[in-house]
């Protein structure tokens, strides 16, 4: 486990990186998982990381597990790295946005 100051900083960084609400993320995960195959149950829609982010958003800081902390670092690193990417062609930019939205970050929102 990490110390309290580091956890506080991670909590803030995570919530700054995840800029959509848990309801918006849940809806996005359901939409992104929809295709011609049978839809999963709503609580199982989307990628595992997105589901984990959704679970973290519904927790208090004191209830975080080591797995939660690992995912939080992963999300912060992903969003930070993607923010540094130069403007891409429109199709690639859409794919990038969808990837980021799957972990709770909408790059069109500031």
pLDDT tens-place string over residues 36-59: 454 554 555 568 899 999 999 999
**For residue 17, what is the enclosing H or E element?**
helix 4-17
Task: Count Cβ atoms within 10 A of the Cβ of residue 72 and give its class: 0-12 exposed, 13-18 middle, 19 or more buried.
Answer: buried
Record the pTM: 0.84
Q: Are 34 and 19 in contact (CB under 8 A)?
A: no
pLDDT at 4 over 70: yes
pLDDT averaged over the chain? Answer: 86
């Amino acid at each position: 486990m990490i110390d309290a100051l580091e956890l506080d900083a991670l909590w803030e960084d995570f919530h700054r990186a995840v800029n959509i609400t848990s309801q918006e993320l849940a809806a996005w995960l359901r939409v992104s998982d929809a295709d011609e195959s049978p839809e999963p149950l709503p609580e199982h829609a989307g990628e595992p990381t997105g589901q984990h982010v959704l679970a973290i958003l519904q927790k208090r800081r004191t209830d975080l597990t080591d797995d939660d902390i690992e995912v939080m670092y992963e999300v912060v690193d992903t969003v930070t790295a993607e923010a540094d990417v130069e403007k891409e062609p429109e199709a690639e930019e859409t794919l990038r946005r969808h990837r980021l939205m799957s972990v709770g970050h909408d790059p069109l929102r500031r």
